Amino acid sequence: MPKDAAVEEFARLVRALKARDGRSYEALGRRLNASASTLHRYCSGATVPEEFAVIARLAALCGADEEERRALEAAWAAADRARRPPVPEAGRTGGAPAPAPAPAPAPGHARVP
């Protein structure tokens, strides 16, 4: 799923929860210990929360069932991966290429240290 599509799917699910609940951003924010502007950014797709916990609390507050909660968590995970920069290969530092491994000894010849 492309980056924008993953974030938009997550935002769509969060917006659906909020719309179904009917409370304002301010009212939900007070119950979740989050600001109204933060919730609005999640609903618009402008940001993705660092952790799923606030979304899990929103789901519970808005009466989401277990299937909806799992869908939200999967969408959050995809959006979270999409917003993070790619992780460099293990053992690589900077732009220098990794050294090539030493060639194996020819058959019948022992390697001498």
List all residues 6 or more positions away from 99 whose beta carbon is below 8 Å from its beta carbon.
none
In the chain, where does DSSP find H-type helix?
A: 3-21, 25-32, 36-44, 53-61, 66-83
Give the CATH fold of the 3-83 domain. 434 Repressor (Amino-terminal Domain) (1.10.260)
| Residue with token string 């301010």 | 26
> Is-above-0.75 flag for pTM?
no
All structural domains of the chain with their residue ranges: 3-83
Give the CA distances from residue 39 to residues 2, 74, 85, 94, in Å, rounded to whole numbers and listed in that order: 23, 19, 23, 37
Q: What is the pLDDT of residues 42-86, one digit of tens each?
A: 999 999 999 999 999 999 999 999 999 999 999 999 999 998 877
